[in-house]
Amino acid sequence: MQKNCTFYIVRHGETEWNERKIVQGQSDIPLNEKGVIQSKELGKKLRDINFAAVFSSDLVRAKRTAEIIILEKELAVVTTKALRERLFGRFEGKHIRELKNTLGELMIISKEKQKELSLNDVENDEEIVARLIPFIREVAVAYPGKNILMVTHGGLLRAFLAHLGLKIPQSLGVNPLKNTGYFVLESDGVEFIVKENNLF
């Protein structure tokens, strides 16, 4: 029986747009000073974990977060569009309240809601899961029994958590996922088991 691969899946550090509650989507916004500090702190927390590989979104805020976390390790960050943030289309650069007013408090974007609201320029949850899960499965099969660091984004994490059946408490507000929050996931390439959740 194949050993599980253990993923540490991290949301990137803070950016100026996070601070101002502006929707980023695939706009390429760098970390702010606080985001750099958050990444360094997480690097210290994960210092003793022996990562076999590091993957991040190709957007600079995620890649930089990953680079800072593994600063003391001799590893290269491999970037991929599979870990990119949700495409938010017309909402990118707008205040998050516009997104909330259109999509509702939970900001779930199903195919049906996408069609109903004519949001063809916004990526739905199914589309995100369809690009993310095959990538995670491939990595799990390639690194059995190993630890993997992945750095990604809040919108993608929301969709993935919903797919795993993990509800984000509505009481936590519109954007409850902490910058440099993370969760630990085990997978053999088929099953997904959440072992630890430090996202909220």
Closest residue by Cα to residue 97 from 89, 107, 87: 107
How is 35-85 classified by DSSP, letter by letter?
Answer: HHHHHHHHHHHTTT--EEEEEEESSHHHHHHHHHHTTTS--PEEEEGGGPP
Note the pLDDT of residue 191: 95
Low-confidence ranges of the chain (pLDDT < 70): 1, 105-106, 169-175
CA-based nearest residue to 191, from 131, 136, 149:
136
CA separation, residue 60 to residues 42, 128, 147 (Å): 18, 19, 23
Alpha-carbon distance 127 to 86, whole Å? 9
Residue 150: the pLDDT is: 98
pLDDT of residue 166: 87
What whole-number distance in Å separates Cα of residue 192 and Cα of residue 142? 15
User: For residue 140, what are the domain limits?
Assistant: 5-198
- How many structural domains is the chain composed of? 1
Give per-residue pLDDT as tens, 64-80.
999 999 999 989 999 99
Predicted TM-score (pTM) of the model is 0.95
Report the catalytic residues.
12, 85
Output the domain CATH number for residue 71: 3.40.50.1240
Looking at residue 175, its pLDDT comes to 62
Whole-number pLDDT of residue 167: 76
